[in-house]
Amino acid sequence: MKKRTWKVNPMHYKVKILLMFAVLMVSWNGPSGSLLAQQSCRISVDTILAARNDTVVDPQLKRHISELQSMFNFTSYRLLSSESLNLGVGQSGMVSLPGDRRLKISPQKIHGSRANLSLQMTKQKRTVFKTQVQLLNRGSLFVGGPAYRNGNLIFKISSTY
């Protein structure tokens, strides 16, 4: 009786390993949700009418009043509107503002705890204001705006990512 010997073909194992790797790559969904979530942010824009003709402070703005008064020389602050956008890096969103104005917001980059945002205000398709800002996660900033009615507009821009 002849003894049978089995020869192992190394290519046979390489093909199996390559096939398993291909199946893993196809079934993998990419980076974890937390990594993807950092590439988008929620941006909120509060529009405030600041004036000197009275001393009314909107109850929703009371927690910001000392900061507002340290930056702006007004006695009255009224919240006119609040809008929120969910934007990814490279996307743009628009917020309607009083006086036929629009604010275009575009997250340019999110790195660590900071987001770089591009802001562009237009009125009747003409750019009246354009800047870049950097916001901390869960941070906000106040931007002084144009004259409106008997006062001036102020915008509180906040981000969370």
Domain ranges of the chain: 41-160
CB 77 within 8 Å of CB 61: yes
φ, ψ at 114 (rounded to 5°): -125, 145
Which structure tokens are listed for 149? 């009615």
The confidence score (pLDDT) of residue 21 equals 46
* Four-residue CA torsion sign, 52, 57, 58, 63: positive
CB 121 within 8 Å of CB 102: yes
pLDDT digits (tens, 9 = 90+) for 114-151: 999 999 999 999 999 999 999 999 999 999 999 999 99
pTM of the model: 0.74
Who has greater pLDDT, 45 or 11?
Answer: 45
For residues 62 and 80, give the distance between their C-alpha atoms in angstroms, rounded to a whole number: 14
The confidence score (pLDDT) of residue 29 equals 42
Residues with Cβ within 8 Å of residue 110, at least 6 apart in sequence: 38, 39, 41, 89, 116, 161
Which structure tokens are listed for 134? 């950097």
Indicate the SS3 state at residue 12.
helix
pLDDT digits (tens, 9 = 90+) for 10-40: 555 454 554 454 444 434 444 444 444 458 8
**147 strand-pairing partners:** 152
Average pLDDT taken over every residue of the chain: 85
Which structure tokens are listed for 55? 């001393």
Least Cα distance to 34 among 157, 137, 141 occurs for 137
